[in-house]
Structure 1
Amino acid sequence: MTRYTPWIVSEHVPDFSTLENLVASPRFAGKRGQELAIALWQVMVDHDLGIFHYCPAQEQFWGRDCHDPLKVFNVYGFTICHVHAHVLAMLQRVAGLESRIANVTGHEGTEAFYEGKWHYFDADIQMFHRLRPPNEHVIASREDTYADPTLVSDQPNPSLPYHLPDRLPEGFQRLYESEPTYPDVFEERIHCMDYRLRPGERMVRYFHHRGRWVVFASYPSMFTRFRAETGPEGPTERFWPRRQWGNGLFEYAPDLSAGSRDVEFGADDVRGLTAGEHGLAAGEAGGSAVFAFESPYIYCGIPDPMRRMPSVDGATLEAVFDLPDGTSAEIEGAPGLSDDWQKLWTSDGRTGQVECNLDFTELADARYRTRLRFALLGEGATLKSFRTRLWFMVSPHSLPALRNAGDNRMSLHSGDRHGLPTRGMLVEHRTDEADFLASAFAAENARHDPTSVSRIAPVDPARPWR
């Protein structure tokens, strides 16, 4: 049987499968106001659970920095200031706090509203500032630091931690001397961590990487421009504890013979093929079978950090065919949900037992979905077996850690965010394009503003409910 999103949770690590599950963690239980706001900030800066500073991942679909909190927490585990700020804002909102973005010169932080006042938190530089006596226990707002920038450089009651080692408060004071601005929260909550394990399929996740990662289009220029920061060695924290990324893989080897239901549960489309004693066999007209490979984690291979060559050894296939005289076989691949099928391999006139060893990393790299189509041409042509391995990036901080020498309590839940056995299908739209609304859905009472941050607003602001 297919298993849908089996998710193991450790007593030592919050459940990062959804933001709702995250804020329901025991570490936040009973907390309100400032105590809750600090606890949410601590998750972002924690040396075991937090998000370290490194070049931001990009959304391939539209080439912008990834702001989706589930990707940041589960897939990457790293980003830079403006994404830290928006992720913390989304986390605060899910936890029930009013939240907004607050700017300093060349930098962004997050403000939470409680006890009748705004309070400023920085999850990237890892600090917040308190007021001076007699209010030394109150966390300052961005307006407070603008009125008195020495709250940054001469802080009598600093947070823990307080500033990165190369972003010291003495140098940061001047950034707070600019008048604050409050841009919209880029609330990009699109991704989900749902996945399926078909019969014959397994997922393995490692706390330490195996040399595979995505080099996004912006990375080579950033590595050259910011030489003082970590770069071509892969996502790495500049300071102790020098955190890095992790890797994992999906391995799939279904039983294709008669008597097995692996093809029924695992294939997206089968035409003209029947399961026989030795595998999937074609009739006189030939046939094909399509298998999809979907992951909540981004696929990746071993990259060239400067993108001079495509990544390799991230998506591999081993297949065995039995091809009688006069028959042949082909393998095609298509990225994402597209029908842009590309020929990847052909039997090229060989007959008898024919083996295929294929690296299709270029088709999967930096994506969450790809498909393979096996085509058998001629009666009796048979796909006897195949095995795929697709590697992905994973944030080690989100994995269910064992930290006690003795017992460690674990729990398991499964299903989508509603507990249902569903298979997620993401359909993406470019919301920064003028025809977005018309291409996505009909909305006579909505007005789309694609400038800077994509916005959908009511046509008549005086009557938003219409």
Structure 2
Amino acid sequence: MRPFWSLANGSLWRFALLAAFIGCDGSKRGASDVPLSVAELKAVSATPAPAGLVSTPLTVDAPRHEKLKMVSLSIANTGADPIEGLWLIGHGQPNFSSVPDLVKEAVPATLSDREKALAIWQLVTRHRYHWYPPDAWAEPHDPLRLFCVYGYAQCDDASLVFRTLCAYAGLLTRNVSLGAKRDREELGHQAPEVFYDGAWHAFDADQSVFYLARDAQTVASVAQCVADLDLVARTHHPLGNRDEMLLLYGQSKHALDLSPKADDPRVLDSIERLPRLYGHHRMQWHLRPKERVDYHWGNEGKFYYAFFADREKGKPPAYANGTVQLPVDFRSEAFRDVVLCYENAASSSEGLGLVSPRRPGSVVVEMRSPYVLVDAWLDLDCAIQSSSELKVYGLHTERVPARQFWREEGVLRGPHRGQARVPMPGLFRSPGGRQMALYRYVSKIELRGKSVRVRRLVASATFQCAPANLPALKPGGNAMRLLAPANLPLD
């Protein structure tokens, strides 16, 4: 693999992208949990401010081969300074860096309300498929997490994402709940409607369908479909659920009585309320020196699913995994610019050691990802003499400040010299029976004893991503875009 391009600002900034092809917990404290110090809590609780980004067009030539298949794509900060905010947009892809940018680009203000609703419906139908959601909470309700992280969800998730995007575009919406019985089976469905031209119009993004009224031009409302089932019967259903939809519309007359009217405060407030609740997630990488991201179009069998008992049921048919890695060399004072914080520890030519052996020393490393994390581990190169030890702790920062205790993940005791890998499964466990989505965590290495040295550390994590929305290259020329800080020019 070789760099496609580099970015530089003097001699400090440096960014490289490489691609490879084929084809030519719980809240209870455990016995080994340790409370955070004041300094650690302050460092862990800090969150980065969103970076101001500019778009730079990039032309990338890929081999002209009909069977070209993406295997991997790597992004690395090869310089000495961090890059706060980085996102690569593939050829012909929407700008998924933030919801406002996505709507601004995909739904131009010059469109009519009908055209805006149709553009948003197409956006949702093209960038997700129907499957069990990863959890029953807010994960699939955020547009960017639905599109980029997972790429799948069910009707209520698609409906809420559709309505959220409509709210960003200034459209009034409401949700209509449909229900029916088939033998002993209870059926349910969520159908979002958009209000324009003085009437409601139903855009079913989950089923990738909408129904035309008798004039064959106007998008019909739920009420029109309930009153005239032939509007549903005569329409092609891409997911093959026509009979089920006929049952739902045929038995849902009560749903219209329960749905809010156009002048209802719940509808009028939706333009402000939905953006307040959803759409805050940003797809941006914050890369420290030597930090590297590897996208893969295949998967390792690792995915986020909150309900452990039904994990195989929730395994998505199409998903991908990637990795993010942060190497830290403790033989250089530059490690201070990479770690989150450190106490009673200093570097030398032999690595990180204790300043005073009378008390423990530690270093805290943070890992962040715009994609949900599904595995984590530390690779250590260290030397530990007898009567000394090295402990590894982890902290799920989504729980700060509610949970202010380090969870012990592993211990290395002397004598030991050389490489060691410490898995961190505790970040993904919960005695309550469900898992919390993880996008940021911190790990702490604690040194104890008279003689313990850490020469090098590599913090690694596996993330889940939607392969259809990764920045893939097509055969021939690719017009891509790089979103990066304004002071990061191309070299």
Instruction: From the superposition, tell whether residues 3 and 272 of structure 1 become closer, same or farther in structure 2 (CA, over 3 Å).
Output: same
Deviations 1:96-132 (A, max 9, x none): 2222212222211111122222211101111111110
Question: Out of 79, 88, 99, which is 1:19 matched to?
Answer: 99
In structure 1, what is the equivalent of residue 326 of structure 2?
252
2:197 maps to 115
Structure 1 residues 28 and 247: alpha-carbon distance in aligned structure 2, compared to 1, 3 A threshold: farther
Aligned-partner Cα distance in 2 for 1:108–1:170? 14
CA-CA distance at 1:68 after TM superposition = 1.7
Corresponding residue of 1:343: 408
2:338 to 266, 272, 275: 266
Give the distance between the partners of 1:380 and 1:218, measured in 2 at CA: 42
| Per-residue deviation, 1:170 | 4.5
Matched residue, 1:288: 362
Offset, 1:271: 0.8
* Residues 300-311 of structure 1 mapped to structure 2, 5 A cutoff: 300=374
SS for the counterpart of 2:367 is strand
Does the Cα contact within 8 Å between 2:381 and 2:454 map onto a contact in 1? yes
Partner amino acid for 2:145?
K
Higher strand share: 2
**Aligned equivalents of 1:341, 1:16: Cα separation in 2:** 34
Aligned partner (choices 106, 127, 130) of residue 53 of structure 1:
130
Q: Secondary structure at the match of 2:101?
A: helix
Could you list the runs of 5+ residues in structure 1 that have no partner in the other structure?
224-230, 237-243, 301-313, 422-466
- What is the match of residue 423 of structure 2? 359
Which of 174, 177, 180 in structure 1 is aligned with 2:250? 174
Q: Does 1:95 align with 2:175?
A: no
Out of 386, 403, 406, the position equivalent to 2:476 is: 406
Q: Is the 8 A contact 1:283 1:379 kept in 2?
A: no
Q: Is the 8 A contact 1:28 1:39 kept in 2?
A: no
CA contact (8 A) 2:394 2:426 kept: no
Q: CA RMSD in A?
A: 2.7
Q: What TM-score do the two structures reach when normalised by structure 2? A: 0.69
CA contact (8 A) 1:331 1:346 kept: yes
Q: In structure 2, do the counterparts of structure 1 residues 97 and 413 end up closer, same or farther at CA, with 3 Å as the change threshold?
A: same
Query: How far apart, CA to CA, are the structure 2 residues paired with 1:175 and 1:192?
Result: 40
In the alignment, which residue of structure 2 is the partner of 1:382? 453
| Matching residue within 145, 149, 168 for 2:225 | 145
Q: In the alignment, residue 53 of structure 1 is paired with which amino acid?
A: H
Distance in 1, Cα, partners of 2:419 & 2:86: 34
SS in 2 for 1:213: coil
The equivalent residue for 2:392 is 331
Provide the residue aligned with 1:228 in structure 2: none
Q: Deviations over 1:34-77 (max 9, x none)?
A: 2221121011112xxx2111111226xxx566412221112111
Q: Tell me, what secondary structure is at the counterpart of 1:110?
A: strand
The 1:364–1:195 alpha-carbon spacing in structure 2 relative to 1, beyond 3 Å, is farther
Task: Report the Cα distance in structure 1 between the residues aligned to 2:197 and 2:487, rounded to whole angstroms.
Answer: 39
- Cα distance in 1 for partners of 2:106, 2:165 equals 15
**1:140 counterpart SS class:** coil
Unaligned runs of at least 5 residues, structure 2: 1-80, 180-187, 261-265, 430-436
After TM superposition, the structure 1 stretch with the greater mean CA deviation from structure 2, 174-183 or 375-384, is 174-183
C-alpha distance in 1 between matches for 2:440 and 2:98? 20
Deviation, 1:182, is 2.9
Equivalent position of 1:193 in the other structure: 283
Tell me the amino acid that sits aligned with residue 300 of structure 2.
R
User: Residues 160-202 of structure 1, C-alpha deviation per residue, up to 9 Å, x if partnerless?
Assistant: x634114445445424444423376664334333442111211
Aligned partners of 2:308, 2:190: CA distance in 1, in Å?
20
Q: Match for residue 206 of structure 1?
A: 296
> Structure 1 length as normaliser, TM-score?
0.73
Percent of pairs identical after alignment? 25
The equivalent residue for 2:9 is none
Contact 2:106 2:119 in 1 (8 A): no
Cα deviation code 1:244-297 (max 9, x no counterpart): 111111112122212x52x22221111111111122121223411011222221
**Partner Cα distance (1:99, 1:208) in 2:** 37
CA distance in structure 2 between the aligned counterparts of 1:3 and 1:19, rounded to whole angstroms = 21
Whether 1:162 aligns to 2:162 is no
Report how many aligned residue pairs link the two structures: 372
Amino acid at match of 1:282: L
| Structure 2 CA distance for aligned equivalents of residues 146 and 325 of structure 1 | 77
